[in-house]
């Protein structure tokens, strides 16, 4: 039997020519430097005949991005009958069509710019419906967290090769399933949400891993998707931690080598790994007392 426990269903494609552009510059010594930088492209999302938003994105998986964005904005529901997703590369538009009539003019009038890179936008009340979310009490093993971090952080990606980008990975146990990247971490999460919606994938036993900060937007999107655990190499914002505690989401940050910090949902953790046996990363030197 084939062992695919370490294989992604969708993996990053750092060598895809359309996602980066070659540029030439000079370094600190005045020497010529050739490198690849990440592309940014506008993508306008329509829901039926109504224009919803124009997002800046690297341009891959526009169908998943549109579906996930609309799902996480509360504009698509489980009961909606999606009859088509049409992408026009030349016009840089994607149209999601539903059987039912939709109208979100009032919601579009209320928007919040979030702290997401590339300026994330949330329409309506960010906290709307969070009090009704009941996340599954699915446990997460620390041995799986360590295995995920080691696998994800060494997987070839745009994040490693070009920088200026965020990665978000949907995981199950110790296996990373779908690895999406984009200039904004909110876009990467929406792509995963769109893939899950398209494929009918359950969120109950999943973990979300991100290379970016654990902000209020990331916590809210993860909760809306029904994923009970969110982890990152990066740190937290106070509001992100507060919301995670309110809704019972397990929030784990500063995952580097042997170390991590859990600021919400500790009850889900099963500490089945000895941190001393995990390969560590050098600690950043403190500037305290520096002259």
**pLDDT single digits (tens) 123-179:** 445 567 788 889 999 999 999 999 999 999 999 998 888 777 889 999 999 999 999
Q: Are strands 32-38 and 20-26 parallel, antiparallel or unpaired?
A: antiparallel
pLDDT surpasses 90 at 44: yes
Fold exhibited by the domain 41-125:
Ubiquitin-like (UB roll) (3.10.20)
Q: Can you give the chain as a three-state secondary structure string?
A: CCCCCCCCCECCCCCCHHHEEEEEEECCCCCEEEEEEECCEEEEEEECCEEEEEEEECCCCHHHHHHHHHHHCCCCCCCCCEEEEEEECCCCEEEEEECCCCCCHHHHCCEEECCCCCCCEEECCCCCCHHHCCCCCCCEEHHHHHHHHHHHCCCCCHHHHCCCCEEEEEEECCEEEEEEEECCHHHHHHHHHHHHHHHCCCCCCEEEEECCCECHHHHHHHHHHCCCEEEECCCECHHHHHHHHHHCCEEEEEEECCEEEEEECHHHEECCCCHHHCCCCCCCCCCCCCC
Q: What average pLDDT does the segment 170-198 reach?
A: 95
Task: Output the pLDDT for position 105.
Answer: 61
Q: Where are the domains of the chain?
A: 41-125, 140-277
Task: Output the pLDDT for position 112.
Answer: 44
Task: Output the pLDDT for position 107.
Answer: 65
The predicted model scores a pTM of: 0.86
| Cα end-to-end distance, the chain, whole Å | 60
pLDDT surpasses 50 at 115: no
Task: Output the pLDDT for position 227.
Answer: 97
CATH 3.40.140.10 fits 140-277, yes or no: yes
pLDDT surpasses 70 at 118: no
- State the average pLDDT for the chain: 87
CATH topology agreement for domains 41-125 and 140-277: no
CB contact at 8 A, 222 and 195: no
pLDDT surpasses 90 at 46: yes
Digit-coded pLDDT (tens) for 209-248: 998 899 998 999 999 999 999 999 999 999 999 999 999 9
Closest CA to 120 of 112, 128, 130: 112
Minimum mean pLDDT range among 74-83, 143-152, 277-286? 277-286
Task: Output the pLDDT for position 111.
Answer: 56
Task: Output the pLDDT for position 142.
Answer: 97
């Amino acid at each position: 039997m084939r062992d695919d426990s370490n294989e992604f269903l969708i993996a990053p494609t750092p060598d895809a020519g359309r996602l980066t552009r070659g540029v030439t510059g000079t370094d600190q010594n005045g020497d010529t430097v050739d490198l690849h930088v990440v592309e940014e492209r506008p993508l306008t999302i329509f829901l039926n005949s109504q224009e919803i938003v124009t997002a800046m994105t690297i341009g891959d998986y526009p169908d998943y991005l549109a579906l996930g964005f609309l799902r996480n904005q509360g504009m698509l529901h489980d009961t909606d009958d999606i009859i088509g997703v049409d992408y026009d590369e030349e016009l840089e538009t994607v149209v999601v069509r539903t059987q039912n009539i939709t109208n979100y003019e009032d919601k579009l009038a209320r928007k919040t710019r979030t702290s997401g890179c590339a300026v994330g936008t949330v329409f309506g009340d960010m906290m709307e419906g969070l009090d009704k979310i009941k996340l599954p009490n699915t446990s997460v093993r620390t041995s799986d967290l360590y295995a995920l971090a080691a696998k994800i952080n060494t997987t070839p990606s745009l994040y490693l090769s070009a920088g200026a980008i965020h990665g978000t990975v949907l995981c199950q146990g110790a296996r990373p399933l779908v690895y999406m990247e984009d200039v904004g971490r909110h876009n990467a999460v929406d792509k995963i949400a769109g893939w899950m919606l398209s494929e009918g994938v359950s969120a109950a036993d999943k973990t979300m891993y991100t290379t970016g900060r654990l902000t209020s937007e990331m916590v809210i999107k993860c909760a809306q998707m029904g994923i009970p655990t969110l982890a990152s190499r990066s740190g937290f914002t106070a509001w992100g931690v507060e919301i995670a505690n309110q809704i019972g989401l397990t929030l784990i940050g500063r995952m580097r080598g042997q170390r991590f910090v859990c600021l919400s949902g500790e009850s889900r953790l099963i500490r089945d790994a000895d941190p001393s046996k995990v390969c560590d990363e050098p600690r950043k030197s403190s500037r305290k007392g520096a002259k």
